[in-house]
Amino acid sequence: MSSEKESKNLAVVNCSQLVTLAGPARPRTGAELRELGIIANGGMFVRDGLIERVGSRDEVETLIDSETEVVDALGRLVLPGFVDAHTHPVFGGTRVDEFEERSKGATYEEIAARGGGIQSTVNATRATYEEVLTYECWRYADWFLRSGTTTIEAKSGYGLSLEDELKILRIIKRLGSETSLRYVPTFLGAHSIPAEFRSRRDDYVALLIEEMLPAVAAEKLAEFCDVFCEQRVFTTDEAWKILSAARCHGMGLRIHADQLSLSGGAQLAAELGTVTADHLEHTDAAGIAALKEAGVQPVLLPGSVYALGSSRYPAAREMIDAGLAVVLATDFNPGSSPTPSIPMILSLASTHMKMTPAEGITAVTINAAYSLNRGAQLGSLERGKIADFVIHDCSDYRDLAYFFGLEHPSSVYVHGKIIG
Ligand code: NIG
Ligand code: FE
């Protein structure tokens, strides 16, 4: 897919449903998640890559002149590009061997304990030259775009040394300028304790705080910092130290919390006032209440629950009913969630988490954009916003979650320009 992000004027007409997500300029909570701002037989006018007008087909057609390219949606569905707020898209190799082992009964934790898991991807990532790794990850950018995703949050975390984490973050920066996908970079040096530090974990935490974070901040390579907070990974005390240091460098905070056990991650997120707390499969009612009180956005990742063969999905219903501004994301990574597909996540959310199709769409558009500090530019089709939008080959927004296992987009536009 090409890399230009500019365009001339466009008029998009003949949409069965123009799903605008128009609404208050903040993340949506409670019943607001079900309000999609749908315009039946709607249209949209785009000038210089920005949305100028959203309305009925007739209103938009009055703006068409000889300089305008008319896009006939042919009675199909138009949505904002999906915003995937949790991905790990830069890694060497795959973990297809582990996938096969798990298909025979091995567990994710057993494989990690014997040196596989994240460490095996760290080994492969370190061993891959920057140019080669960039080329491999370019392919994943195409996968996201083809599924209708136009922005991703992109974590480092498979380098786990100063040099290799910088290599990954520079690749993310380069992909952001050379592909059509938008990247929001996150430093996840605290993804695992690398093998060479296993017997001296304090030294790795010191390396993160004293060398890696300052270097990442000096090169302005990350907007956010994340920590995998879990028993046998980073404790809540360690996560507190790392995230507090990141805050001093001006980074926003995210945290992998309560994924494999109830380990205090949600409480820590609330205490620190992180922007998001991600996973939350084991979070209890007290954790949900703490997140609500602190205004932390949950980022739920049903792809990893599904791919690990678990049935322990996060308590999305309780979170929505408690007033949390829920986000859904893929967690695209080679170990626990090898999918770039937001439509697959929408299917899982409705089938296993009892989120309605409308709630799912809000969670992968406007709420996700706010969780990345992009709510003013992305995530809805409203005047002044960037024209990242997708024509899906169906006519009803509920089809996106209902028909699963296929790619719905027929055309993807970034900054008003078609990606082909
Ligand atoms: O979000 N939880 C930690 N990180 C990833 C898994 C990464 C891997 O297995 O490589 C996750 O699920
Ligand atoms: Fe993750």
- pLDDT one-digit tens code per residue, 90-100: 999 999 999 99
User: 4 falls in which pLDDT band (50, 70, 90)?
Assistant: very low
- CB burial of residue 208 (10 Å; 0-12, 13-18, 19+): buried
Specify the pTM: 0.97
C-alpha 93 – ligand 1 centre gap (Å): 15
Q: Indicate which atom in ligand 1 lies nearest the CA of residue 337.
A: 12
3-state class of 175 per DSSP?
A: helix
Residue count of the chain, please give it: 420
Average pLDDT over every residue of 325-353: 98
- Residue 111 Cα to chain centre, angstroms: 26
| Dihedral over Cα of 70, 72, 78, 84: its sign | negative
Residues with Cβ within 8 Å of residue 130, at least 6 apart in sequence: 167, 170, 171
CB distance 140 to 337 below 8 Å: no
C-alpha 304 – ligand 1 centre gap (Å): 8
Q: Which whole-number Å values give the CA distances from 274 to 51, 103, 256, 281, 403, in the listed order? A: 31, 36, 11, 18, 35
H or E element that contains 165: helix 162-178
pLDDT at position 268 is 98
Q: Indicate which atom in ligand 1 lies nearest the CA of residue 108.
A: 9
In terms of Cα–Cα distance, which of 303, 297, 267 is closest to 282? 267
CB of 118 within 6 A of ligand 1: the answer is yes
Per-residue pLDDT tens for 366-409? 999 999 999 999 999 999 999 999 999 999 999 999 999 999 99
Average pLDDT over every residue of 228-254: 97
C-alpha 298 – ligand 2 centre gap (Å): 13
- CB burial of residue 280 (10 Å; 0-12, 13-18, 19+): buried
283 pLDDT more than 70: yes
Residues with Cβ within 8 Å of residue 103, at least 6 apart in sequence: none
AA identity, residue 97: D
Ligand showing the shortest atom-to-Cα distance for residue 281: 1
E strands of 127-245, at which residues?
149-155, 182-190, 224-229
pLDDT at position 237 is 98
Place of tokens 């949409």: 15
Give nearest CA residue, ligand 1 atom 3. Answer: 228
- Which of 90, 110, 111, 118 is the pocket-test mutation for ligand 1 (most atoms within 8 Å of CB)? 118
Ligand showing the shortest atom-to-Cα distance for residue 120: 1
Q: Is 372 left (phi over 0), alpha (psi -120 to 50) or beta?
A: alpha
CB of 228 within 6 A of ligand 1: the answer is yes
In terms of Cα–Cα distance, which of 126, 128, 195, 197 is closest to 158? 126
**Mean pLDDT, the chain, integer:** 96
pLDDT at position 3 is 42
- Which of 111, 186, 191 is the pocket-test mutation for ligand 1 (most atoms within 8 Å of CB)? 191
DSSP state of 31: G
For the chain, what is the radius of gyration of the CA atoms?
Answer: 21
DSSP state of 378: S
Give nearest CA residue, ligand 1 atom 7. Answer: 335
CB of 117 within 6 A of ligand 1: the answer is yes
C-alpha 224 – ligand 2 centre gap (Å): 14
- Which of 193, 330, 331 is the pocket-test mutation for ligand 1 (most atoms within 8 Å of CB)? 331
In terms of Cα–Cα distance, which of 176, 5, 20, 161 is closest to 87? 176
Max CA distance (Å), the chain: 70
Structure tokens at 75: 């009675």
| Dihedral over Cα of 132, 173, 94, 163: its sign | positive
